[in-house]
């Protein structure tokens, strides 16, 4: 078996059907198996999918195990020389699987590769291209060129001789050697959603190069889920679940000091953003509390981060999934 394709399903049967159809339509020159891990067995999507795609190996999880644990379950039974972790909300438009297979056969220095994401209209989807590019966005600091220069000095971009090499691969499409999974144990099962692909990339990168090739592209529809970010602003850049996962990743990969630096930054910025907004409100309307929605959301999200403080600091083994009452993005989705 050349490639084991592993897809996680969670209440997205039609997206999954479209994804599977695109795989069959465009994949040639390789033998492959399809493994679907279902994080929502109550809806019995397996009956519908298996009737349309009898070759699919369907695995029911007992609960919504999140992205990392479900993929690990799929990889544990996979038989391929390579594994492709593919989102259900993706579409292939050409023989990208065959191309990745040939490239990794030729390039033994590469442990895993990814591909460039596109929106449904074919336009490129932006992504963080390095660990430091990602880490700089975690800090809440006054926007200015000076601050940007300081952050770029403290967290510089890496320089690789290989123009295709990157720090990490987006989890929607990860083509990895079997030994990459076997030698790392797969995803950390502490992550529920978000951050797990970044953390695993850090460990995979110690085994070989992670590459993204310009001629490898796919459509990522970004199916809406209840943990997506809302009310985006310069102080609310990430969803609550994503922030919890991001801080967990920093603690795991960079240690206690890096984690505590982020915590201190958020603490210090609480009075700064409140005083700044209240000062503007007084100038605009005379009422210091007239427009505090964004600041209130920041405080709520920060409260959730501190709820996980000790757990993250000591890396307690757990599934870091926020409670429904802590899903600030979903609770404030209707606010302006």
304 contact partners, CB below 8 Å, separation of at least 6: 240, 243, 244, 322, 326, 328
Say if residue 215 is in the same domain as residue 297. Answer: no
Query: Above 90 in pLDDT, residue 199?
Result: yes
Domain ranges, residue 120: 3-129+166-220
Spacing of C-alpha 306 from chain mean position: 22
Beta-carbon count within 10 A of 281 CB: 16
Alpha helices in the chain (DSSP H): 13-26, 45-52, 66-77, 96-106, 131-136, 145-154, 178-184, 196-204, 240-254, 256-284, 293-307, 309-313, 328-331
Domain count, the chain: 2
Query: Which tokens hold the place of 155?
Result: 């967290």
Q: Which of 89, 164, 88 is nearest to 119 (CA)?
A: 89
Residues 302, 208 share a domain: no
> Are 309 and 274 members of one domain?
yes
pLDDT in tens, 74-87: 999 999 999 999 99
Q: Note the pTM of the prediction, 2 decimals.
A: 0.93
Does the residue 79 lie in any domain?
yes
pLDDT tens digits, residue range 278-306? 998 999 888 888 888 899 999 999 999 99
Q: Are 66 and 192 in contact (CB under 8 A)?
A: yes
**Same-domain pairing of 31 and 178:** yes
**Would residue 120 count as lying in a domain?**
yes
- My answer on whether 92 and 215 are in the same domain is yes
Say whether both 206 and 324 belong to one domain: no
* CATH number of domain containing 9: 3.90.550.10
> Do 214 and 247 have their domain in common?
no
Residues 312 and 171 in one domain: no
Can you tell me the distance from the alpha carbon of 62 to that of 105, in angstroms, rounded to the nearest whole number? Answer: 36
- Do 187 and 286 lie in one domain? The reply is no
Residue 151: inside a domain, yes or no? no
Does the CA dihedral 139-143-147-149 come out positive or negative?
positive
State the DSSP code for 126. Answer: P
CB 235 within 8 A of CB 269: yes
Residues 91 and 174 grouped into a single domain = yes
Confidence of residue 336 (pLDDT cuts 50, 70, 90): very low
Q: Is the domain of 188 the same as that of 47?
A: yes
Residue 330, number of CB atoms within 10 A of its CB: 18
Domain membership of residue 230 (yes or no) is: no
The answer to whether residue 231 sits within a structural domain is: no
Paired strand residues for 218: 117
Tens of pLDDT along 121-165?
999 998 888 999 999 999 999 888 999 999 999 999 999 999 999
- Residue 5 and residue 35 in contact, taking contact as beta carbons nearer than 8 Å: yes
The answer to the question of residue 141 being in a domain is no
Is residue 155 in some structural domain? no
pLDDT for 90-130, tens place per residue? Answer: 999 999 999 999 999 999 999 999 999 999 999 999 888 89
pLDDT value of position 228: 74
Is the pLDDT at 271 greater than 60, yes or no? yes
- Which pairs with CB-CB distance under 8 Å and at least 24 residues apart come from 304-307? 304/240, 304/243, 304/244, 304/328, 305/243, 305/244, 305/247, 305/263, 305/266, 306/263
Last residue of a domain, one of 220, 252, 282: 220
Does residue 144 belong to any structural domain of this protein? no
C-alpha to C-alpha distance for 187 and 37, rounded to whole angstroms: 15
Integer-rounded Cα Rg, in Å, for the chain is: 21
- Do 14 and 103 fall into the same domain? yes
């Amino acid at each position: 078996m050349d490639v084991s394709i592993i897809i996680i399903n969670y209440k997205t049967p039609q997206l999954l059907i479209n994804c599977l159809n695109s795989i069959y339509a465009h994949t040639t020159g390789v033998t492959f198996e399809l493994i679907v891990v279902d994080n929502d067995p109550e809806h019995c999507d397996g009956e519908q999918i298996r009737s349309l795609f009898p070759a699919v190996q369907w695995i029911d999880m007992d609960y919504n195990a999140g992205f990392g644990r479900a993929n690990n379950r799929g990889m544990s039974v996979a038989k391929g020389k390579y594994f492709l972790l593919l989102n259900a909300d993706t579409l292939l438009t050409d023989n990208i699987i065959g191309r990745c297979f040939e490239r990794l056969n030729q390039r033994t220095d590469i442990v895993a590769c990814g591909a460039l994401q596109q929106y449904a209209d074919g336009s490129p989807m932006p992504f963080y291209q390095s660990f430091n590019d990602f880490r700089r966005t975690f800090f809440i600091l006054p926007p200015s060129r000076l601050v940007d220069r300081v952050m770029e000095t403290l967290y510089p971009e890496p320089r690789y001789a290989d123009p295709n090499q990157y720090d990490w691969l987006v989890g929607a499409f990860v083509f990895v050697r079997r030994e990459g999974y076997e030698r790392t144990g797969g995803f950390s099962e502490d992550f529920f959603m978000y951050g797990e692909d970044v953390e695993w990339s850090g460990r995979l990168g110690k085994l070989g190069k992670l590459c993204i090739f310009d001629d490898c592209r796919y459509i990522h529809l970004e199916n809406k889920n209840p943990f997506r970010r809302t009310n985006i602003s310069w102080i609310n850049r990430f969803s609550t679940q994503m922030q919890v996962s991001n801080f967990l990743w920093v603690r795991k990969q960079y240690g206690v000091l890096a984690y505590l630096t982020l915590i201190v930054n958020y603490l210090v910025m609480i009075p700064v953003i409140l005083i700044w907004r209240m000062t503007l409100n007084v100038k605009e309307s005379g009422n210091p509390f007239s427009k505090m929605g964004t600041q209130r959301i920041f405080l709520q999200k920060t409260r959730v981060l501190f709820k996980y403080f000790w757990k993250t600091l000591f890396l307690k083994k757990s599934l870091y999934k926020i409670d429904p009452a802590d899903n600030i993005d979903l609770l404030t989705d209707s606010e302006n």
